[in-house]
Structure 1
Amino acid sequence: MVKGVKINSVLMALSLAGFVNPTSWAFGDEAAALAEWQAFLNQQTELVTRTKLNADYVPGSITVLHGETLVMNGARILADALALAPNFDMQINLLGQRVIVMRGVGAAFSNSSVKVMLDGVNTVHASQGFAQTLLHMPIEQIERIEIIRGAATVVHGDDAVAGVINIITHDSAQAHLATGSKGYRSASITQGSEFGSGRLRLNLSAWGHGATGVRAEGDAVTVSGFEQYSSAPGRVNNQRAFEQLQLGWHNETTQLNFAYNRLRTGDFYGVIEFLPPSSDRYAQNYEDYLIRLNHEESVTPNLRSVTQLSLGQLSYELDTLYVPKTFIGTDFDDASARGFSDFIYRQTYLNQVREQQVQLEQQFVYDVSDTHRLLLGFDVRWVEITHANAKGIQNKDQDAHENVRARLGSTGDRHYRLAMFLQDEWRISPTFTLTSGLRLQQQWLNYTDRSKDNDKMTNPWQELEVRQVTPKLAAVWQVAPSHILKAQFSQSHVTPPIGQVTYVGNLANTAIRPEAAKTDHYELGYIYAGPVHTQRITFYHSEFDQLTHGTNYFHYFRPLSASGFGQEDYPGMRQIRARGIEWDSDFRFGYRWRGFASVSFNHTDDLAGNAVVGSRPYLGNLGLDYRLSDAIHLAGNVSYGGAMAIEPYDDRERFASYWVWNLAANYNLPKTGWRARFVVNNLTDVAVASPSPINIDLSGLAEKPTAPYAAGYLSPGRQFTLSLDYQF
């Protein structure tokens, strides 16, 4: 485990079958192919414990996806890859923002439950809790993706409530061009060279597509009887464009990286679910600037020091329309009577936020003996919103107090965090390792008080400045060379996004308290690592307590009087639990056939038996990869998702289950470095829907549960891609 332990285990829960690099496909016999397979499986990761361990011998559930494998199987961007990982469901919200749903948790909470990193640097916006730019990163720029399913805050701190995703950037020289249906186009290049005492690399990439033709049949205006003032039914402006620049330099001890990510998208279904006029303009803009300096050195033969300084500036801007057409004066009284007096003008809705993050991490790894290793870490983080602006909301003046609540933060909002964590890896016997950890964290906040008419809490943020203690205990037992048992308990305290937690000033004493938000996570796993196939089974149970409201489900987290539209009152969701079983397998038949499979059975509810919004009881993936010859490589996979849960007071049926098929054909020109690829994503053109919340005001007016977009937010459907790659 720590030193001198021979580990014979499979690498990953999903690598789309763990296929080898295509440059090594020219094996002429089974023995050589098997040797390559075994070498590929026995890889290491630092993501879970921050010390290099075999990926199947670390505590908890980890998945490693390889970029080359994902490219060969037709994935375009990171979000496509995550959809193929065990127990992942990728969704969108009303603004087209990608939503990670891991083990049924995520749809109602933004993405603040999953930490998303680029080469070890956190990219989650503290103001909003999402990492949109990185979820659109093209696969051609990704060396591998490492995923933790389950709480990981002892080592990783903020945002790692339900899991962690770390993207490691590609370093080998290559170029890529692609075109496809619905205006898709993509280009990227990676180049590296020796520079000084180290190696310098450059990564450039860009891709985009136009509006895909997805239509919305209704919106909040049509539902309310104002069809003549709506763009619905009409085309959804779901175009996207992504650009990325990365520079990196490294030698044996030091790494210096810079990354610029930019994502632009249309306004999709409208900021308050009034479909904007069909156009080709970009309504949303995300920009990330990231700098990382990492230095590692040996202080003594048994003591290693790792220092990392990361700087980030993350910004988001939304510029869209409230109402697609102008209400005329004769309709004012009618609109007012229906509760829409605040929304009767055609006007711009602007929301801007820019934040800066600075994080310093210092770790010491001390080998007490060959069987005992200690990790001591210190973590300092500073976050400040340097610019925030919102206007157009409810026709209020920009400086009005009510309008401040509509922002994603206020200029000058800041918080500081100081943390210390200790991890003990102790190999009690040659086959049994116990890992324990403890994180002690204190934070200080200076937020703008957004409460209104509430004299009891003049400084509501003071209650958030609590000392938090987070424990972890895990065991790994190699019962036999091919059989591994794992068990884990871990806890996390939730640091809510600034834009969500600052509503606390209006909450009563009995309401949700963000300072108490935490999770408890239990896991039991078994791995069989055979010579040609691996099997992994994980039983998990997670409890989430005192969660803050999500971005688009405000009413879901508060007591709701639903009797006015024929439903039982709902007490508000404060606690949820996620329980389930995950099985996945990697297998091979000779050196021509390889494959993967995974099935997840989930029960994610609010303790009263109501399934949590966005969760699915079943998720599964199956993929096959066939090497027809040294030049031709065929791959295909299918994903299944069970019927999706909606709010308990919504009388619609659960959103339908789906089967999505993807096919890819790859042709490698012998000895030239060129590769051509043709991909069909969503072969049967299935319209996969993401959950759309009901609107309480509309429901009261209609006297029944009413959602502006009854069919949900729909995926683009079938897509074709033709690409050409070259490896220098």
Structure 2
Amino acid sequence: MVLGVFVCATWAGESSDSDRQELEDLMSLLEAETELATRTGMNADFVPGIATILSGDDLQVRGIRTVWEALSLVPGMSLGLEMTGERQILSRGVGYGYASGNIKIMLDGVSMNSTLLATANAVLGIPVEQVERIEVIRGPGSSIYGEYAYAGVVNVITRKQGRRLYARADEAAQAGGGMIWSWSDPGRELSFSLNLTGLEGDGEGVLVEEDALYPIGQAGLSNAPGRTNEARRYKGMFADFAWRDTHVDLKLLQDDYGDLYGINHFLPPSDHRLASQTYAVSLRVEQDIPLSRELMANARLELFDHQRDRDQLYVFPASYLLDDAPVYMSQDYRERRYLAGGELHWSPEGRHRWLLGVEASQVEVEQATWDWPDLGFEIPSHWLTANIERDIWSVLVQDEIRLGEQVTLTGTLRYDDYSDAGDMLSPRLAAVWRMDHEHVLKAQYARAFRPPTFYELEYALDASLDPSEIATYELGYIFTRPSWALRLTLFQSDLDSPISFDEVSLGGYINAEDARLRGVELEYEHRLGAQLKIEANLSYVDATRRESKTHLSGGADLLGNLALLWQPRERWLGALQLRYVGERYRVDSDERSNLSDYTLIDLTLTYRGRASGLYGSAGIKNLFGQEVRYLAQRTEFGGVDLVYPQDYLRPGRRWWLTLGYRF
């Protein structure tokens, strides 16, 4: 966790009294709570496992623009990019490749991972202006959250308080704005909030000198040199209604984007087409049922509708497959998930806190078709087996045991039964020892699982594809003082039968060789007087396959963040953010050298304003124009390897601006 961010640290700064400032810092450290680890609410430092809390206000001060970018501040997490624009997250070296859904992503507590790819691209694109906070569990979370909580859990909490309008612009990228409006009647226990955002832009694109046609001697067919298609349109609506113990929330997300580098690494025309459209709709109705002073029940119904369409996606250049015309493909996919669940919270005495949960869900694929109008010959209209569905039954039992005031033990066991992937058991045993008001020790053992996605099952290389499991051991130490804090985490994870794309044959998905992750994460926060704060983290992971002793591809051994936050005046804040990403490992079959490391430096200036009135931020991303590249994934067509020689280059230095008004 990035210290200070992870505790929702508010920059009070309205008093020059340094003793008062240190007290406020300490209180912010103690008051940060999360329900993510146990679903019961607990101080973030005292929960089982390693928790990170990223404050939306603090993210804006640092110049962070989206949820995806914010996750790069979490120790051990790095970013990746799929060739046609799908955002990726790697956690502790796990998660590289297409359809790499190894992290559970939730929006206000509702799972947003599609069963097609196990990703949630639309959530990662949410602007931070709409975000209250982001809660992150580093490491396994299946004992509480089930599938895809394999290498981490992310819960994005949207803003539901206040009234504001804002406009934002990014150089050669997107412009737009949003609003937040809330209303409440405490006497009737009634509240409502509406959170809207919309962004659109053609994007300048990055200059690509050579695409995959150059290495195979077909440069004359290429659109390179040329620019990537970085057009993007984003819309979001988050509505929440609460009346007494009843809560209803509705989320609508639309994330449209260009085809960037092209599906087969053939550079598309830079015509600003929105080649991919993703729609996500979630509806939750939840009822709290107080039964007694010690007993509380909860029931919920959820509907999740996910649609992923491709419109004129550029596949082959003219004369590569057909004599005189390029080949475009359109694709439609839609799935719908229904879920019913309930929980029972029982605290029979001060020593125990029991949790019993049950869930039943069904996922149905309603459409999986494609169209190749320029191909010249007929192919089947369905690209997934027709009438796919998955039924899941789940039971969860957890007990938090307080052994006096200082020691808490947590035991959790979850059972999941899949109609198409068998059954999985996810245990967790954790201990937290609050030695005194400064020192905390934490230890945890947890197992998690990851069932195959619909896409992986359809394109599996073997007849069967088994779920993957991970077992993790963690040891944490926390040392807090009024003006500074230190956190140290040691971990080891054993991956059994990880699901990945076959890096040798490029023919489909397999259960790959078992792997082991060993690492350390160090975090530090220090306030130097009333005007200057330093926050830093450094993480190291050795992610290797057990037998071959080769590195897992995609990840970096070393990651680091450093932030200097300066408050020269009462309402003005300056931030310098440094991000280091170490050397990243290629797949074993790629003979090129590993992708080199890079360091990014961002500058941000913020005027926070008063409780009502104007506020704003401006900044420069990648101040020194550092060359940033993500690893290009290898593809194959007709027995020919296709890859970008220079990987996926990202934009250089650029400015951004946000202006808003609070009512």
> Smaller-chain TM-score range?
over 0.9
> For 1:637-652, what aligned pairs fall within 5 Å after superposition?
637-652=577-592
CA distance in 2, matches of 1:433, 1:500: 40
Greater Cα offset, 226-235 or 661-670: 661-670
Pick closer, same or farther for the CA change 1:438–1:397 going to 2, 3 Å: farther
CA distance in 2, matches of 1:441, 1:530: 42
- Give the aligned partner of residue 435 of structure 2: 479
Question: Does 1:376 find its partner at 2:356?
Answer: yes
CA distance in 2, matches of 1:342, 1:553: 29
Q: What is the aligned counterpart of 1:501 among 439, 457, 472?
A: 457
Mark the runs of 5 or more structure 2 residues left unpaired by the alignment.
none
Question: Does 1:194 find its partner at 2:184?
Answer: yes
Q: What is the aligned counterpart of 2:543 among 591, 599, 604?
A: 604
Pick closer, same or farther for the CA change 1:629–1:609 going to 2, 3 Å: same
Q: CA deviation at 1:430?
A: 2.1
Alignment-mate amino acid for residue 261 of structure 1: L
Greater Cα offset, 164-173 or 341-350: 341-350
Contact kept? 1:390, 1:398, Cα under 8 Å: no
* Helix, strand or coil at the partner of 2:347: strand
CA distance in 1, matches of 2:580, 2:224: 30
CA distance in 1, matches of 2:174, 2:4: 26
Question: Does 1:141 find its partner at 2:130?
Answer: yes
Greater Cα offset, 713-722 or 124-133: 713-722
Pick closer, same or farther for the CA change 1:281–1:516 going to 2, 3 Å: closer
Pick closer, same or farther for the CA change 1:161–1:727 going to 2, 3 Å: same
CA distance in 1, matches of 2:49, 2:8: 23
Contact kept? 1:558, 1:573, Cα under 8 Å: no
Pick closer, same or farther for the CA change 1:617–1:194 going to 2, 3 Å: same
Greater Cα offset, 688-697 or 214-223: 688-697
Contact kept? 1:275, 1:324, Cα under 8 Å: no
Q: What is the aligned counterpart of 1:514 among 451, 459, 465?
A: 465
CA distance in 1, matches of 2:28, 2:306: 36
Over residues 293-348 of structure 1, what are the superposed CA-to-partner deviations in whole Å (9 max), with x where a residue is unaligned? 22223211111112222111110011234456421xxxxxxxxxxxx758985222
Alignment-mate amino acid for residue 256 of structure 2: R
- Give the aligned partner of residue 229 of structure 2: 237
Pick closer, same or farther for the CA change 1:25–1:90 going to 2, 3 Å: same
Q: What is the aligned counterpart of 1:591 among 520, 525, 530?
A: 530
Contact kept? 1:112, 1:496, Cα under 8 Å: no
CA distance in 2, matches of 1:61, 1:397: 54
CA distance in 1, matches of 2:313, 2:257: 14
* Helix, strand or coil at the partner of 1:80: helix
- Give the aligned partner of residue 546 of structure 1: 497
Contact kept? 1:19, 1:594, Cα under 8 Å: no
CA distance in 2, matches of 1:306, 1:585: 38
Q: CA deviation at 1:684?
A: 1.2
Pick closer, same or farther for the CA change 1:398–1:542 going to 2, 3 Å: farther
CA distance in 2, matches of 1:298, 1:398: 60
Q: CA deviation at 1:178?
A: 1.6
CA distance in 2, matches of 1:119, 1:415: 24
* Helix, strand or coil at the partner of 2:455: helix
CA distance in 2, matches of 1:224, 1:524: 50
Please give the TM-score of this superposition, normalised by the length of structure 2. Answer: 0.94
Please give the TM-score of this superposition, normalised by the length of structure 1. Answer: 0.86
Pick closer, same or farther for the CA change 1:25–1:351 going to 2, 3 Å: same
Alignment-mate amino acid for residue 15 of structure 2: F
> For 1:377-416, what aligned pairs fall within 5 Å after superposition?
377-392=357-372, 395=375, 400=380, 404=382, 407=383, 409-416=384-391
Over residues 487-541 of structure 1, what are the superposed CA-to-partner deviations in whole Å (9 max), with x where a residue is unaligned? 111112212211112334x515xxxx53342111111111111111111111111
Q: CA deviation at 1:397?
A: 5.8
- Give the aligned partner of residue 295 of structure 2: 303
Normalized per residue, which structure has more helix? Answer: 1
Q: What is the aligned counterpart of 1:355 among 335, 348, 353?
A: 335
Alignment-mate amino acid for residue 588 of structure 1: R
Q: CA deviation at 1:416?
A: 0.6
- Give the aligned partner of residue 176 of structure 1: 166
Alignment-mate amino acid for residue 582 of structure 2: G
Q: What is the aligned counterpart of 1:677 among 612, 617, 634?
A: 617
Contact kept? 1:17, 1:587, Cα under 8 Å: no
Q: CA deviation at 1:639?
A: 0.4
Contact kept? 1:501, 1:548, Cα under 8 Å: no
> For 1:126-137, what aligned pairs fall within 5 Å after superposition?
126-137=115-126
Q: CA deviation at 1:398?
A: 5.6
CA distance in 2, matches of 1:487, 1:343: 63
Mark the runs of 5 or more structure 1 residues left unpaired by the alignment.
1-11, 328-339, 446-463, 560-570
- Give the aligned partner of residue 281 of structure 1: 273
Pick closer, same or farther for the CA change 1:469–1:396 going to 2, 3 Å: farther
- Give the aligned partner of residue 392 of structure 2: 417
- Give the aligned partner of residue 13 of structure 2: 25
CA distance in 1, matches of 2:323, 2:544: 35
CA distance in 2, matches of 1:430, 1:572: 45
Question: Does 1:689 find its partner at 2:644?
Answer: no
CA distance in 2, matches of 1:160, 1:130: 12
CA distance in 2, matches of 1:279, 1:162: 38
Contact kept? 1:229, 1:324, Cα under 8 Å: no
Pick closer, same or farther for the CA change 1:114–1:149 going to 2, 3 Å: same
CA distance in 2, matches of 1:251, 1:35: 36
Q: CA deviation at 1:725?
A: 1.8
Identity of aligned residues (%): 27
* Helix, strand or coil at the partner of 1:644: coil
Alignment-mate amino acid for residue 713 of structure 1: Y
- Give the aligned partner of residue 92 of structure 2: 103
Q: CA deviation at 1:428?
A: 2.0
CA distance in 2, matches of 1:671, 1:55: 27
